Structure 1
Amino acid sequence: MVPHLITALTGPINELEQRILESMPAIERWFRLEWMEHTPPFYTSVDLRNAGFKLAPVDTNLFPGGWHNLTPEMLPLAVQAAMAAIEKICPEAKNLLLVPERHAGSFYLANLQRLKNIFHQAGLNVRLGSLDESLTGPTTVTLPDGSDLTVEPLQRVRGRVGLKDFDPCTVLLNNDLSAGLPAKLENLHEQYLLPPLHAGWAVRRKSKHFQSYEEVAKKFSKLMGMDPWLINPMFAQCGQVDFSHGDGLDCVQTQADAMLAKVRRKYKEYGINEKPFVAVKADNGTDGMGILMVRDAKELAELSRRALEKMGEAKDGQHVTEVLIQEGVPTYERMHDAVAEPVVYMIDRYVVGGFYRVHAERGTDENLNTPGARYVPLAFAEHNQLPKPGAKPGVSAPNRFYMYGVIGRLAMLAASYELEATDPDAEVYE
């Protein structure tokens, strides 16, 4: 089933779907040429929002969890993509070290088990090595499905990281480094660390990503002969913000007001009868923390002390000092009468699957990545379902998924641009 759009404003998206399907050979060639010049992130997940009049990524994760939400039917694609990715990086690899988050609940452990299975089936011995200093020996946990997962303390010997009697060629991070860059992972000797350290939230900024995405969206829109705004969320950034003391809020308020005015102008241009909003979020951060939806900039001046403190909190006890002000993209997709947004998963440059994040207690203009969210696999991401050119827009599930995959890959390409621009080891040419 394709989750239904509950808005009559489906014109631009149906036109976009049709244009993308008609341009499939040109689009695939365009991506092929881009990947000749740029290296894709090792793996990526992208949160999309489909407003009917606009389809855009709102978050790009370079350390994706949630792999257990992909259906078994999607796994062969993931395994093939993992094989291709490893072959490019370390063809002779036999050992892969997976570095997880320090604190893990049962859902996250199920995600690790799925990742382990994918890379095991790609032909690698996979073991888990934790950065948690309190872990002194191998610890085995039993998952709800009855399977076991063993996590061991990470060791560093002669500039290489591994485990006891386990020396990997490749180290795969599933830890977004919100707490900072671990010394154990710096300056590794002849080992591949994926993603690189500067992809972690200790260094990375969402504003840099969306700056790169804007560049990609303009290139792609030129190819398609369309307005980039249809696939690009506008944004601004404020630094030196201290929510606990109210410092820097004037910048956030000014930028939010200016962004709302820009969105109003675009809505007027397209005849969209909607009330615009902006998302104020931590410029470095994940897990849906530190996000505020604002419909009037005056709301920021009226925030309670508790709301300000909550906005200032980020993952792993970090404080928010830089803020992204992003055009709010409502989601008008519904599944079983609950608001839904698609999340696309990729390994290397390949789309391998995805799911809908569904929240029955959230509105179309709210953050869905909060407690109470459910994850419904993309029912149309089944094998043997290729796009169907000529099908009526908005009704063919594979066509909708292909369109989501294109926008997801644009965000992944933007992440590639972003990582190149922020690489501390890159050579700079005058």
Structure 2
Amino acid sequence: MVPHLITALTGPINELEQRILESLPAIERWFRLEWMEHTPPFYTSVDLRNAGFKLAPVDTNLFPGGFNNLTPEMLPLAVQAAMAAIEKICPEAKNLLLIPESHTRNSFYLLNVARLVEIFHQAGLNVRLGSLDPAVTAPTPIALPDGSSLTIEPLVRTRGRIGLKGFDPCTILLNNDLSAGLPEVLSDVHQQYLLPPLHAGWAVRRKTKHFAAYEELAKKFAKLLGMDPWLINPLFAHCGEVNFTEGAGADCLASNAETLLAKIRRKYKEYGIQEKPFLIVKADAGTYGMGIMTVRDPKELADLSRRTRNKMSVIKDGQEVSEVILQEGVPTYERINEAAAEPVVYMIDRYVVGGFYRVNAERGVDENLNAPGASFVPLAFAGSNQLPKPGAKPGASAPNRFYMYGVIARLAMVAASYELEATDPDAEVYE
């Protein structure tokens, strides 16, 4: 099933779908050549928005926390991709240490951890869980909603290696986005593989760096397909030194918002789009749908209510917001049971392993859906094991729609690999 796209402006998207299907061999070769030169992130999830007139990634997560939302039918793909990823990194690996988020009472997140344990166990690894939380001083069982349980253990640091008591892993997999900073216990690990690397965490990473890399790739990719890169790229701007509590940086926000909205209006006029453009202003670092607001007029930024200032000033783990990205708002016209929905694509190594729709009946087409009231529906990707069908009418085939989403998500994943290379503190710099 493909959720209903409620807009008359399906022309460009159907044209994009057709162009992508017709160019399939060229696209797959393009990706193959990129992966010969660049290393994919270990795992990635990408939030997409389909406006009917454009399809673009709006967020790329390098510590995905929703593997529990993948259907059982998608698991063989995930296991195969996990095997391929581990073989490349540490072929002789027996043990994998998984370090989850420290807020281990969120039952949905815990089901994600359990699913990751299952995937890597099926890939042939002994998997145990270690905690960055200093309060965890002994093996601690945690009950799951389905009646099973996970055991989380304190980390043991022995010289250059991290493990658990009686457990020495070849690879350490972080499922903790390091929003609170880089933990001392994870520093200077050179004898083991730490994945993703520390500089992928939000203590270092910035969304503007990612979308700058994506913009360059979107131009290359659009040239390959003979199309306008704007159809797959959200325009953006950056403001540093912002303090919402004190009102600092308001001029930067307002002037950037005005410039960005003018650019979007020009594109809307070019494509005959009658809607009013909007921006999403969000913390340049961080996730969990925190520190995000929708802006339709730059004047709104000069007039923020105390409630909005408070909401924008602090994100996950109490981190203060000092930098923001202003991003072109891409409305979502996908609907499931009359509720706004957006596709989320999950990847391990360079492979798409599945996806689902984030659905939120309490939010509008121009708002962030990763908010209270969100649910996850794997309907659209239930047939993800089917190959695309050339010749099918655009917009009518779930595998074709899914393939198109997978292509744009993989483009964001290539951008993430560029971004990680550019921010790697250990990379050699050649003049």
Q: Do both share a fold (TM > 0.5)?
A: yes
Counterpart residue type for residue 186 of structure 1 = S
Write the distance in 2 (CA, Å) between the matches of 1:157 and 1:387.
50
Partner of 2:264: 263
2:77 corresponds to 1:53: no
Write the distance in 1 (CA, Å) between the matches of 2:3 and 2:198.
37
Write the distance in 2 (CA, Å) between the matches of 1:296 and 1:35.
41
The residue matched to 2:102 in structure 1 has which SS?
A: coil
Q: Which runs of 5+ in 1 are unaligned?
A: none
Write the distance in 2 (CA, Å) between the matches of 1:57 and 1:383.
19
User: How is 1:256-295 mapped onto 2 (pairs within 5 angstroms)?
Assistant: 256-295=257-296
The residue matched to 1:75 in structure 2 has which SS?
A: helix
Cα deviation for residue 302 of structure 1 reads 1.4
Write the distance in 2 (CA, Å) between the matches of 1:80 and 1:157.
32
Cα deviation for residue 384 of structure 1 reads 4.4
Write the distance in 2 (CA, Å) between the matches of 1:34 and 1:384.
24
CA deviation vs aligned residue, 1:5-62 (integer Å, no higher than 9, x gap): 0000000000000000000001000000000000000000000000000000000000
Partner of 2:175: 174
Partner of 1:114: 115
Partner of 2:136: 135
Q: Contact 1:100–1:128 (CA<8 Å) still a contact in 2? A: yes
Q: Contact 1:353–1:378 (CA<8 Å) still a contact in 2? A: no
Cα deviation for residue 304 of structure 1 reads 0.8
Q: Contact 2:354–2:381 (CA<8 Å) still a contact in 1? A: no
Write the distance in 1 (CA, Å) between the matches of 2:286 and 2:361.
24
Cα deviation for residue 380 of structure 1 reads 3.4
Write the distance in 1 (CA, Å) between the matches of 2:149 and 2:312.
37
Q: Contact 1:46–1:57 (CA<8 Å) still a contact in 2? A: yes
Write the distance in 1 (CA, Å) between the matches of 2:40 and 2:182.
22
Counterpart residue type for residue 169 of structure 1 = C
The residue matched to 1:288 in structure 2 has which SS?
A: coil
Partner of 1:428: 429
Counterpart residue type for residue 243 of structure 1 = F
Go from structure 1 to structure 2 and tell me whether the alpha carbon gap of 1:33 and 1:160 turns closer, same or farther (over 3 Å shift): same
2:361 corresponds to 1:360: yes
Q: Contact 2:356–2:381 (CA<8 Å) still a contact in 1? A: no
Q: Contact 1:381–1:401 (CA<8 Å) still a contact in 2? A: no
2:44 corresponds to 1:44: yes
Write the distance in 1 (CA, Å) between the matches of 2:80 and 2:184.
33
Write the distance in 1 (CA, Å) between the matches of 2:382 and 2:285.
31
Go from structure 1 to structure 2 and tell me whether the alpha carbon gap of 1:204 and 1:383 turns closer, same or farther (over 3 Å shift): closer
Cα deviation for residue 382 of structure 1 reads 2.7
Go from structure 1 to structure 2 and tell me whether the alpha carbon gap of 1:288 and 1:163 turns closer, same or farther (over 3 Å shift): same
2:159 corresponds to 1:153: no
Counterpart residue type for residue 277 of structure 1 = F
Could you list the runs of 4 or more consecutive aligned residues of structure 1 that deviate by over 2 angstroms after TM superposition? 378-384
Partner of 1:32: 32
User: How is 1:399-414 mapped onto 2 (pairs within 5 angstroms)?
Assistant: 399-414=400-415
CA deviation vs aligned residue, 1:217-253 (integer Å, no higher than 9, x gap): 0110010000000000000000000111000111011
CA deviation vs aligned residue, 1:364-410 (integer Å, no higher than 9, x gap): 00000001101001443436411000000011110000000000000
Partner of 1:17: 17
Write the distance in 2 (CA, Å) between the matches of 1:387 and 1:149.
38
2:378 corresponds to 1:377: yes
CA RMSD of aligned residues (A): 0.7
State the identity %. Answer: 80
Partner of 1:415: 416
The residue matched to 1:176 in structure 2 has which SS?
A: coil
Go from structure 1 to structure 2 and tell me whether the alpha carbon gap of 1:383 and 1:262 turns closer, same or farther (over 3 Å shift): closer
Counterpart residue type for residue 168 of structure 2 = D
Counterpart residue type for residue 258 of structure 1 = T
CA deviation vs aligned residue, 1:340-374 (integer Å, no higher than 9, x gap): 00000000000000000000111100000001101
Write the distance in 2 (CA, Å) between the matches of 1:256 and 1:116.
43
The residue matched to 1:81 in structure 2 has which SS?
A: helix
User: How is 1:201-280 mapped onto 2 (pairs within 5 angstroms)?
Assistant: 201-280=202-281
Partner of 1:192: 193
Q: Which runs of 5+ in 2 are unaligned?
A: none
Counterpart residue type for residue 344 of structure 1 = V
Partner of 1:308: 309
Partner of 1:337: 338
Write the distance in 2 (CA, Å) between the matches of 1:239 and 1:84.
39
TM-score (norm 2): 0.99
Partner of 1:7: 7
User: How is 1:61-80 mapped onto 2 (pairs within 5 angstroms)?
Assistant: 61-80=61-80
Counterpart residue type for residue 202 of structure 2 = W
